[in-house]
Structure 1
């Protein structure tokens, strides 16, 4: 303990305050080794307060599920937070100027650029695009595979309970109306309407392959979703549903198809518009819409959170495939590198 106090000062108290270690040992030690009282008080308030308020927050929102969460993951959470505190302390301890983080960022960016030039650039712009796209597609596939494995092993219950508990804190008449409107934006008639409008506009601009990929993103994700639902055959939640639905639950069709379709529309806006501001706003709007559609399915009681997450993963996999196909066609027809 003496070594800890000599090395970290009063901030050693913060480490103990957020762990199951008996706190009185460190408080007595702080007096014994004459730690600065101000540092001791601040470290105690931050660490001990954060620990108990976090536990209270979890119990308030999760109820009995919090007991399972804390008993299962307390050690991991404790270790992670302790490491984070130590890293932050080391960073601030060795900070000499206010420009430290700016200097660190410039250094990291320089290293990334050097790595890009030496290791990645030989593939060319199109090769880089394919590598990144394939890596992203594999990531989505692995996420879906993990969720599918946990579903088959019946290991998704805790995750679903926690997320459902958090989402249900939003319940209210106005919120229910909002969620019904949002979920309708992810319904087949509305998405087909969006797709048709996009296809017509793209055909008018003579972007034939862009229009083709919009239809591919919609139809392909819908067919894949039907196949996956038939394969896993997970029943829907037993809780009272706020809308009427039929069919199986895993993965969520609204989440999967909206991710693929609205993601493709966002990508086409990004590569076809010149206004950086409009591109950014449109992309963020579509991203928030897709997330909101997923939350609405949980809120309305028609899907488990794991259904929605699996839908995002499967929809993301299909979206990446469509984008890679589109850019491959563009490259070999017009010899145009993909946009950055």
Structure 2
């Protein structure tokens, strides 16, 4: 698959994400998604057990800011010292930091109060979109993007995608299970992060292509 097709896919995902986020935010503003949220919450919280609660607390910790910061520092070290990435580090930092900033802006813009139905943990702040959902989607998507070309076999790539997908979904579900987010908060977080991460990748790939073409042109001129 050539670069233009990759860029087209990324652009398509970005457009779908912004449309999806816009629809979710509209439904929330018009109070048209309350029934959907209640049904999903009842289904997920209806599975409550002591062991599952412990597991969900682990996943919600994995999606927290402190864990994301530690994981990001480890990935920066790994990308720089093991995979010899340089320019990619800018993409990684921009993706993580940008996602956090975007989440803060959106939370203060919508100011949605958290659900107060059956909380298993205490959390402050606004609810929409979920910061944990955005953290998970951004971190594991960008890690998958950067590691993909270093994995040559299909099994390895499938494992990468499956693990990333499971982490993203599990962290999102944990927030619903623990009673601190509506399902629409999680979905909105995924859409917001999907838009941000694909936009960042689009600019990164465009820059890389421009940089590559400039280098080739210089080589031709000096040949």
TM-score, normalised to structure 2, is 0.91
List gaps (5 residues or longer) in structure 1.
1-123, 336-340
- In structure 2, the partner of 1:173 is 50
Quote how far apart the aligned CAs of 1:134 are: 1.1
Contact 1:259 1:312 in 2 (8 A): yes
Quote how far apart the aligned CAs of 1:273 are: 2.1
Q: What are the residue-to-residue correspondences of 1:142-153 with 2, within 5 Å?
A: 142-153=19-30
- In structure 1, the partner of 2:174 is 296
Cα distance in structure 2, aligned partners of 1:145 and 1:180:
30
Q: Secondary structure at the match of 2:101?
A: helix
1:145-189 per-residue CA deviation (whole Å, 9 max, x = no partner) reads: 000111111111011011111101210000000000011000011
Cα distance in structure 1, aligned partners of 2:204 and 2:77:
18
Q: Secondary structure at the match of 1:247?
A: coil
- In structure 2, the partner of 1:202 is 79
Quote how far apart the aligned CAs of 1:330 are: 2.4
Select 1:218's aligned residue among 90, 93, 96: 96
List gaps (5 residues or longer) in structure 2.
214-223
- In structure 2, the partner of 1:244 is 122
Greater relative CO, 1 or 2 (CA 8 Å, sep 6+): 2
Q: What are the residue-to-residue correspondences of 1:8-157 with 2, within 5 Å?
A: 125-157=2-34
Aligned residue pairs total: 212
Contact 1:267 1:283 in 2 (8 A): no
Select 1:262's aligned residue among 140, 151, 157: 140
- In structure 2, the partner of 1:327 is 205
Q: Secondary structure at the match of 1:317?
A: helix
Displaced runs of 4+ in structure 1, greater than 3 A? Answer: none
- In structure 2, the partner of 1:192 is 69
- In structure 2, the partner of 1:110 is none
- In structure 2, the partner of 1:68 is none
Cα distance in structure 1, aligned partners of 2:137 and 2:191:
9
TM-score, normalised to structure 1, is 0.60
Cα distance in structure 2, aligned partners of 1:197 and 1:255:
21
